[in-house]
């Protein structure tokens, strides 16, 4: 890793997202939404990344435990005990048998995405990434990282919003046999001296990050892989 104290510099990972002590001291974390991402491999050399956003169940009980409980309830509804039945998050839309009233309807009328192309944020989120496999392992010191460039070759933003990434498998049970990490997105920007909430104007919301997810596959020689190394996850657009 380059200098973890370098901020706003697209050539580094910026703030170490794994360091719990590097939260912006002057910006409270009170997300209005959680984002749930289920990553699995439906076939050889294929990666699926179904994701959707949900409004916080009870804004009066907006705690880490309550947000985790909501994410786990969502995941259990799309993953069966048998392991063979995988629903899409969009199947939880209002009016369906397992509906989640808080499922966010996107601006294009859809409820979820099957990729990372439009993994966008317009406010604070807690992001829950579930690796739907009991076989993958995680390196606690390298769960996510930020690359220097987007897929089109343009510079990626230095990390000034994502401050905490950590494994949280403490309450996985039933059909949830995989690995879960959670990431706090403060929706902030660094002005050279302090962190401030990101303004709502379009230019400020246009920051794009090259956010990568790191897992280790099993085998005679364990194989580290990076998922979504440079697709340019951005700020703005969605909730």
As a whole number of angstroms, the distance between CA 42 and CA 44 comes to 7
pLDDT for 47? 79
As a whole number of angstroms, the distance between CA 165 and CA 36 comes to 14
Yes or no: say if 125 and 154 are a contact pair by the CB < 8 Å rule.
Answer: no
Quick: pLDDT tens for 128-137: 999 998 888 8
What residue spans define the domains of the chain? 20-234
As a whole number of angstroms, the distance between CA 188 and CA 234 comes to 13
User: At 9, phi and psi to the nearest 5?
Assistant: -115, 115
Other CB atoms within a 10 A radius of the CB of residue 211 amount to 25
pLDDT for 89? 95
Which of 130, 153, 125 is CA-nearest to residue 232? 153
Low-confidence ranges of the chain (pLDDT < 50): 1-13
pTM of the model: 0.88
pLDDT for 93? 94
pLDDT for 97? 87
């Amino acid at each position: 890793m380059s200098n973890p104290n370098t901020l706003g510099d697209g050539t580094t990972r910026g703030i170490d997202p794994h360091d719990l002590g590097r939260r912006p001291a002057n910006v409270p974390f009170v997300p209005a939404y959680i984002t749930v991402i289920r990553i699995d491999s439906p076939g050889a050399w294929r990666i699926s990344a179904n994701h959707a956003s949900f409004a916080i169940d009870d804004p009066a009980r907006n705690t880490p435990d309550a947000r985790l409980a909501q994410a786990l309830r969502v995941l259990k509804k799309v993953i069966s005990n048998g392991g063979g039945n995988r629903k899409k998050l969009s199947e939880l839309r209002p009016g369906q048998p397992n509906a989640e009233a808080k499922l966010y309807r996107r601006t294009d009328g859809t409820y979820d995405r099957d990729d990372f192309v439009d993994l966008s944020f317009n406010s604070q989120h807690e992001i829950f990434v579930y690796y739907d496999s009991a076989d993958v392992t995680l390196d606690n010191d390298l769960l996510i990282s930020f690359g220097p460039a987007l897929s089109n070759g343009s510079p990626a933003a230095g990390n000034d919003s994502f401050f905490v990434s950590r494994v949280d498998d403490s309450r996985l049970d039933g059909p949830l046999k995989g690995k879960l990490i959670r990431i706090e997105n403060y929706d902030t920007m660094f002005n050279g001296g302090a962190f401030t909430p990101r303004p709502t104007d379009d230019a400020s919301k246009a920051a794009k990050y090259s956010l990568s997810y790191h897992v280790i596959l099993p085998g005679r020689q364990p194989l580290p892989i990076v998922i979504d190394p440079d697709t340019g996850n951005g700020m703005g657009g969605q909730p």
